[in-house]
Chain A
Amino acid sequence: MSISQREVLGKIGKAVEMEKKLDLHSEEYLHKLMTSQFALSFKLFLVFIIILLGLPVMNYIAPEMMNARIFGFTVTWFFLAVLIYPITWLISWAYVKSSIALEEKAATWTDPEEH
């Protein structure tokens, strides 16, 4: 991407551009773009928040199970000190992959001729 391209659209909200790229600048496009990205983020956020905030609940309501011993650890220690990191990697991998795919798709929602 050249430097000049970056500067071309510098002045915010030029009327000329608004007309020319009506599609891209329409309410519908922005709405579709934001809701689809937000839905993806929020879905994965929910998955993770349930794991993260669910663990203290499990520790509280099922202490016997969580404090049972496994490979020398307690279940909850092994989960929080070791297993949780690979889980976050999986979630962020899923996010990066789908989010970039979504961006590529979103670029096709408008007419490529116009820009």
Chain B
Amino acid sequence: MQQGIQIIPLIAVVLLVVVTIGLGFWVQKSVKSAADMYVASRSVSVPMNSAAISGEYLSAASFMGVAGMIMKTGYDNIWYPVGYATGYLFLLLFIAGPLRRFGAYTIPDFAHGRYDSPTFRKIAVIFVLCIGFFYTMPQMKGAGTALVNILNTPYWVGIVVVGSVIIFNVALGGMKGITFVQAVQYWIKMVAISLPMFIMFMFLGGYGTNMSKFHNDAEKGGTLPKFRTDYTAIYKPAAPLNDIVFGTVIRGTFEQDTQVIITPSKKLPEGADQISAQQLMTSSLPAETREVTLPTGKKVTAYIFKKGTEFATGQPIVATQGGQPILVTDPVSGKEKPLKVSAKFTVTPAGSEEVTRITYKAGQPVPNAPNDKTWIEPYGLLSSKYGHPVLYTYSLILAIVCGTAGLPHILVRFYTNPDGKTAKRTTFWVMILLGCFYVFPPMFGALGRAWVPELYAVAGGARSTDSVVLILPRLLNQYVPYLGDILSAITSMGAFAGFMTTFSGLLVSLTGALAHDVYGNMINPKATPTQKMRAFRISAILAGSTAIVLGMFVENFDINMMVGWAFAIGAASYFPMLIVSAWWRRCTAIGAGAGMLVGGGAALAAIVSTMLADKKVIPSLGPWFADHPVVRTLFEQPAIWAVPFSLLLIYVVSLATQSHVPKNSRWKMLVLHAPEELNLKNRNYIEDDAVPAH
């Protein structure tokens, strides 16, 4: 157990913060104009810009979250990094070139310019701010919890540190300053994920060697990972962190008096024969019991295990109905098989302790871990949770791919390219940089399963699969003193760079929306360059402080859930609007606006409804979803219907409002698609004032 301040990671993080501030000062000297601040004077070279875009895009979720998810439930989660990387291909094929050529600075600029509609600009601004703030919250939470892990500081310290450093950098150097910082941080992250992995390969065996330890044949496919040393797991008394699913016979010892609710690991169908707690156990149950009322109002019996009691769960048993085995259809193979359940504990300290501690001996199977076959093969725990794995997989792919193409902080970077051609070349290099990075998180997932399986024992928090990237390298301390600590410090630095760059990118796009769209276009259209620069700095401080405050409130939110919201809204709003606007001349502002608002709104409403059901805000919703697994799947991953729905809406509404097609739409399409050689120029939305002509 790691307690207290860890000196080596602390040094790494301090170093990173100091370097980031130093770079900010250094670049600041060359920031002379509003065009520098807003779009880095549109003169960022291809290598610099592709590293900056990649640096900005690789958030902490990519750095830590993806590896953790892959370790936790296996194959299905590889779709996340693949979707994150290939979303760029869609951007490249349909959006990057035209968008840059149009010359607009922000998406609201594009919405306004493409349709000559100031109202559309206002709607688009609201969306930029919404998606942007949604996406800053998980970054803030990540920063807060990472510092808790490394330094044991209070949650708010991490948020304030990351927040202020980035606000400082953005306010000082604007887009130009942040471009350089992000490019440097891409390389920090790339080194931070690859170097420790290569060194671990030398000690722990290669990628393929470790993968070959997991079996998917009929005989050994059911193997569960086993504790490599004695391990004491800490369970916080909050659902679902205090749920423990035991797949087979597992022995453990309670370190305090503990109240345990024992239920079957899967929900039994209506009318099934009751399964008693004793049937799920090998050891005998304690005599002392207590009646507990669940949040749903149901009363259940909890067993009080005394301190030091050893327990042993049982083999999976077949659920029955009227004495006959209950058969379920496997959603992938289509074969019928008996429904098997094992023990699930819900643990709470019976005394005054704050957490439940359970010690497992070396060699015991790890609870909460999927077996080898489920983990390594497609259609595992993630996609099969509602019984429609193929549908779930497709919707997940679509959400990530279209969501990437609809993130405002990524799109805004395309305007820093000198022209449409370099925008295309930049995207190509971004794909290479991202691809090289995303090969690594699955390696952490695989080596994590093989070498630190104890992380499965608790479903979330500091010592769970979520932190595999930080914890796995420490294993090397056994081979070379301090090597593990140094490598872990390097990965901590990478994770921290993840929060900083993504937050800085979001802050630039939020600031751009406030300073350029709200101030520069709505409040004071005649602003002088000096006023514009000041507006940018004030907006950066305003937006950044708001993000810090929002970050304080989300300590108990799930990071992946918040990221999912941002992606789903992006996928169903911006993506359809942009692609149709770039390629369909007869599209109208009303059509595009309606598709964006209603499509994005519907996707958001669907996701929020699943959250309300899960958090039991609307108690009747949960059981209803349980009875309608298809609806549940479609609501949790709405992209598969929300994106086509939004596109259809744009099409139908545009056809109905053909009299509103912009009069010069042919010119606009020409500007979007004609090669630069023809010198067609739309107006530049950020004037190149104060920059000497070159």
Of residues 667 through 694 on chain B, the ones whose CB sits less than 8 Å from some CB of chain A are: 667-670, 673-684, 688, 691, 693
A89 to B376, Cβ gap below 8 A?
A: no
Of residues 583 through 609 on chain B, the ones whose CB sits less than 8 Å from some CB of chain A are: 583
A13 partner, pick from B210, B376, B667, beta carbons under 8 A = B667
Looking at B86-94, B246-254, B262-270, B503-511, the stretch in contact with chain A turns out to be B86-94
Tell me, yes or no, whether B220 is within 8 Å of chain A by CB.
no
B435 to A86, Cβ gap below 8 A?
A: yes
Tell me, yes or no, whether B212 is within 8 Å of chain A by CB.
yes
Closest to A70 in B: B208
B92 to A6, Cβ gap below 8 A?
A: no
A88 vs B210: C-alpha distance when bound (angstroms): 26
Tell me, yes or no, whether B431 is within 8 Å of chain A by CB.
yes
Closest to A57 in B: B390
Tell me, yes or no, whether B32 is within 8 Å of chain A by CB.
no
A103 to B666, Cβ gap below 8 A?
A: no
A33 vs B667: C-alpha distance when bound (angstroms): 13
Contacts of B75 in A (CB 8 A): 76-77, 80
B678 partner, pick from A2, A48, A86, A107, beta carbons under 8 A = A107
Tell me, yes or no, whether B378 is within 8 Å of chain A by CB.
yes
Nearest-CB distance from A77 to chain B (Å)? 6
A41 partner, pick from B93, B207, B663, B681, beta carbons under 8 A = B93
Tell me, yes or no, whether B651 is within 8 Å of chain A by CB.
no
Contacts of A13 in B (CB 8 A): 663-664, 667
A107 vs B421: C-alpha distance when bound (angstroms): 13
A28 vs B144: C-alpha distance when bound (angstroms): 57
B583 to A92, Cβ gap below 8 A?
A: no
Tell me, yes or no, whether A91 is within 8 Å of chain B by CB.
yes
Nearest-CB distance from B338 to chain A (Å)? 21
A25 to B670, Cβ gap below 8 A?
A: yes
Nearest-CB distance from B596 to chain A (Å)? 22
Nearest-CB distance from B613 to chain A (Å)? 27
A88 to B435, Cβ gap below 8 A?
A: yes
Tell me, yes or no, whether B235 is within 8 Å of chain A by CB.
no
A24 vs B207: C-alpha distance when bound (angstroms): 56
A13 vs B665: C-alpha distance when bound (angstroms): 9
A25 to B667, Cβ gap below 8 A?
A: yes
A6 vs B671: C-alpha distance when bound (angstroms): 12
A3 to B439, Cβ gap below 8 A?
A: no
* Binary B-proximity of A22-58 (CB < 8 A = 1, otherwise 0): 0011010110011001100100110010001100100
A6 vs B636: C-alpha distance when bound (angstroms): 47
A56 to B393, Cβ gap below 8 A?
A: yes
Tell me, yes or no, whether B19 is within 8 Å of chain A by CB.
no
A73 vs B85: C-alpha distance when bound (angstroms): 21
* Binary A-proximity of B172-208 (CB < 8 A = 1, otherwise 0): 0000000000000000000000000000000000011
Nearest-CB distance from B139 to chain A (Å)? 25
Nearest-CB distance from A34 to chain B (Å)? 5
Contacts of B435 in A (CB 8 A): 85-86, 88-89
Q: A73-B211, A88-B435 are in contact. Are A63 and B678 (CB under 8 A)?
A: no
Contacts of A30 in B (CB 8 A): 666, 669-670, 673
* Binary B-proximity of A80-100 (CB < 8 A = 1, otherwise 0): 111011101101110110011
A24 to B439, Cβ gap below 8 A?
A: no
Contacts of B673 in A (CB 8 A): 30, 33-34, 37
A9 to B679, Cβ gap below 8 A?
A: yes
A104 to B677, Cβ gap below 8 A?
A: yes
A60 to B82, Cβ gap below 8 A?
A: no
A93 vs B42: C-alpha distance when bound (angstroms): 23
Contacts of A106 in B (CB 8 A): 674-675
A27 to B666, Cβ gap below 8 A?
A: yes
Of residues 397 through 427 on chain B, the ones whose CB sits less than 8 Å from some CB of chain A are: 397, 401, 420-421, 424-425, 427
Contacts of B82 in A (CB 8 A): 52, 80, 84
A95 to B212, Cβ gap below 8 A?
A: no
A2 vs B673: C-alpha distance when bound (angstroms): 21
Nearest-CB distance from B664 to chain A (Å)? 4
Tell me, yes or no, whether B442 is within 8 Å of chain A by CB.
yes
A77 to B78, Cβ gap below 8 A?
A: yes
B79 to A80, Cβ gap below 8 A?
A: yes
A56 vs B392: C-alpha distance when bound (angstroms): 11
Closest to B431 in A: A92
A74 partner, pick from B216, B436, B583, B679, beta carbons under 8 A = B216
A82 to B377, Cβ gap below 8 A?
A: no
Contacts of A81 in B (CB 8 A): 78, 439, 442
Contacts of B26 in A (CB 8 A): none
A66 vs B685: C-alpha distance when bound (angstroms): 51
* Binary A-proximity of B332-356 (CB < 8 A = 1, otherwise 0): 1100000000000000000000000
B390 to A63, Cβ gap below 8 A?
A: no
B432 partner, pick from A6, A66, A89, beta carbons under 8 A = A89
Contacts of B678 in A (CB 8 A): 24, 107, 110, 115
Pairs of residues from A and B, 10 with the lowest C-beta to C-beta distance, nearest first? A85-B435, A72-B212, A72-B208, A103-B675, A107-B677, A13-B664, A59-B378, A41-B93, A81-B442, A10-B683
Q: Would you give 17 A-B contacts (Cβ < 8 Å), ordered by A?
A: A7-B684, A9-B679, A9-B680, A24-B680, A33-B670, A34-B583, A53-B394, A56-B397, A60-B378, A72-B209, A77-B78, A77-B376, A85-B439, A88-B85, A88-B431, A92-B431, A107-B678
Task: Give me 13 other A-B pairs in contact (C-beta within 8 A), A67-B378, A80-B82 excluded.
Answer: A7-B684, A13-B664, A25-B670, A30-B666, A56-B394, A63-B378, A88-B89, A89-B431, A96-B425, A100-B421, A103-B420, A103-B676, A115-B679
